[in-house]
Structure 1
Amino acid sequence: MRRHALGLGALAMLLAACGGNTGDPAAAPAATTSAAASATESAAASPTPTGLPTPNSSPSPTGENIAGCVTADKGEIFKYTRDGTVTKGVIMGKGKVGAVVSYERRGTVCDWLPLAERLVAEGRRVLLFDRNDVVSPEKDTVEMARRLHDAGVEKVFLIGGSMGGRQSVLAAGLLKFPVAGVISVSGGTTQPGDVTALKAPFLQVTADEDSTAPLELARAVYQEAKKSADRQLLVLNGREHASALFTAEQGDKALQAITAFVTKHSG
């Protein structure tokens, strides 16, 4: 009973504070703070019932998953080993056209689900994977492209964000089969010399105020990719970097540009 009395008392003080300070802004903060403190003390005195879910909490996956967001219902999860380290990947969707996605330095596979799910909805296959290492990461992209190709994908695109964009560019030159296209999103680490020999269609997507991926560098890379079968540079308004572009104001434009590029070069 005492706990209920404390809670009702705090509520009464809070109502009094809200109703009694109209027209007196200077007095409002102190009264509100006092009422809030009483309410906090009352809440602390009342134990939280056990066995009830936390409000607004998302249940954690109980089965096999990647980064807590990709479960077996999204596709075929596999294990990948390089230099003694085991990581996981997933192949989503069906079709003869597919893409390997390499995320940015501080990213995860979760950040690229908006793009992956859109591509899958358009009949493409998508391979997402946990990067094995930051040392020679393009080797991971090469192995993932081979895996997707061996799984029956005839047109393989390499898509990456930031350092993942550079991974994709470098991997294209290491594969024994030609890739259908390379897409770099905010490729701030890609240098002009990386694309000198690139023959595959090449799309760059970047934001004009992204300090991590200077627009001047993207333009220099575009100028150097002279051997590319189809070089494109899409500059969007904003400062978002890599996968953050997909959930920003220009997100739909970025996603549409990528899927349209894949469609154009899938024939």
Structure 2
Amino acid sequence: MRRQAVGLMGLLLLLAACGGTAGSQGAGPASPSASGSTRGPTAVPSPTGVNIDGCVTEETGKVFEYTRDGNTTLGVIMGKGSAGVVVSYERRGKVCDWLPLADRLVDAGHRVLLFKRNNMVEPEEDTVAMAERLRKEGVTKVFLVGGSMGGRLSALAAGALTFPVAGVVSVSGVVQPEDVAGLKAPFLQVGGDQDGLAPLDMVQAAHDAAVKSADRRLVTLPSRDHASQLFTGDQGSKVLDTVMAFIKKYRD
């Protein structure tokens, strides 16, 4: 019994020396401050006021409300210019994931509309409504860009709009051949050659079906990344450059 008590006391002393207590995990090292003292990591404050997913505020652009079928959500229009891009994100994505592309587009003189999907009942209607909103804002050339299911929604919306779109871009899109069989607008597909969610045979079938497109292109890069993950992966710069070059060609 005495040996057990001594052993327990030694364990407690050892934990105390390491800064922990029995049954706990020690905290990471504190960061030195400018004065030489130590403190824990500084928390990033959440944005106040109207914001979308914590990454888009009224400083980012013109935030608006959008209502369909009794459901209200938010969107934002960034930048200026006569050419505009509507972005539809992937199923498990969010507006924030597409800011790398949106920022590039704004810097190049485009307007960009990012929005939170309203609901999953005919979601392409949201993309249609966003394209119509850009037209009312004075945009004369509208591009539809989307990732994964957002790529398919962009293709479906292009066929439902009453005005022709300047181009459709599908990033790792799950576009079906029938979605683009009647598409006349230029059509770009970009994806990774090892993407299990948007396999090569799927995107190739969509490419082959888009025979009426003014310019159909299929660009595959060595990557497993899917949709917006491509922007921050190893092929990020190539993907962004490819999309930007396509939009620039049909904007001018």
**TM-score band, normalised by shorter chain:** 0.7 to 0.9
Q: Per the alignment, do residues 54 and 98 of structure 1 end up closer, same or farther by CA in structure 2, a change over 3 Å counting?
A: farther
- Aligned pair count reads 230
2:164 to 161, 173, 178: 178
What are the ranges of 5 or more consecutive residues in structure 2 without an aligned counterpart?
1-10, 27-38
Q: Given residue 95 of structure 1, which amino acid in structure 2 is its aligned partner?
A: G
Q: Given residue 68 of structure 2, which amino acid in structure 1 is its aligned partner?
A: R
Residues 1:210 and 2:198 are matched in the alignment: no
Distance 2:111 2:173 in 1: 23
Which of the pair is proportionally richer in helix? Answer: 1
Q: Per the alignment, do residues 242 and 35 of structure 1 end up closer, same or farther by CA in structure 2, a change over 3 Å counting?
A: same
Q: Which residue of 2 aligns with 1:261?
A: 246
Q: Which residue of 2 aligns with 1:79?
A: 65
2:88 to 94, 102, 105: 102
Distance 1:54 1:169 in 2: 49
CA contact (8 A) 2:88 2:147 kept: yes
Q: Given residue 249 of structure 2, which amino acid in structure 1 is its aligned partner?
A: K
TM-score (normalizing by structure 1): 0.82
2:101 to 107, 115, 118: 115
Residues 1:39 and 2:28 are matched in the alignment: no
Distance 1:214 1:144 in 2: 29
SS of the aligned residue for 2:188 comes to strand
Measured against aligned partners, the alpha-carbon deviations of 1:17-69 in whole angstroms (never above 9, x if no partner) come to xxxxxxxxxxxxxx9xx569832239999xxxxxxx96153210011101110
Distance 1:94 1:64 in 2: 21
Q: Which runs of 4+ in 1 moved over 6 A?
A: 42-45
Q: Per the alignment, do residues 123 and 44 of structure 1 end up closer, same or farther by CA in structure 2, a change over 3 Å counting?
A: same
Q: Which residue of 2 aligns with 1:193?
A: 178
What are the ranges of 5 or more consecutive residues in structure 1 without an aligned counterpart?
1-30, 46-52
Distance 2:153 2:200 in 1: 19
Q: Which structure's CA Rg is the greater one?
A: 1
Q: Per the alignment, do residues 35 and 242 of structure 1 end up closer, same or farther by CA in structure 2, a change over 3 Å counting?
A: same
Q: Which residue of 2 aligns with 1:91?
A: 77
CA contact (8 A) 2:15 2:21 kept: no
Q: Which residue of 2 aligns with 1:158?
A: 144
Query: How far does residue 113 in structure 1 lie from its aligned partner after superposition?
Result: 0.3
Q: Kindly report the root-mean-square deviation, in angstroms, between the aligned alpha carbons of the 2 structures.
A: 2.4
Identity of aligned residues (%): 60
Q: Per the alignment, do residues 253 and 56 of structure 1 end up closer, same or farther by CA in structure 2, a change over 3 Å counting?
A: farther
Measured against aligned partners, the alpha-carbon deviations of 1:168-197 in whole angstroms (never above 9, x if no partner) come to 000001101100000000012x11111100
Distance 2:149 2:198 in 1: 10
SS of the aligned residue for 1:149 comes to helix
Q: Given residue 131 of structure 2, which amino acid in structure 1 is its aligned partner?
A: A
Q: Per the alignment, do residues 95 and 239 of structure 1 end up closer, same or farther by CA in structure 2, a change over 3 Å counting?
A: same
SS of the aligned residue for 1:90 comes to strand
Q: Per the alignment, do residues 37 and 217 of structure 1 end up closer, same or farther by CA in structure 2, a change over 3 Å counting?
A: farther
Distance 2:43 2:49 in 1: 18
Residues 1:243 and 2:223 are matched in the alignment: no
Distance 2:141 2:41 in 1: 45
Q: Which residue of 1 aligns with 2:34?
A: none
Distance 1:124 1:174 in 2: 23
Q: Which residue of 2 aligns with 1:25?
A: none
Q: Given residue 45 of structure 2, which amino acid in structure 1 is its aligned partner?
A: P
Distance 2:168 2:25 in 1: 56
Q: Per the alignment, do residues 37 and 143 of structure 1 end up closer, same or farther by CA in structure 2, a change over 3 Å counting?
A: farther
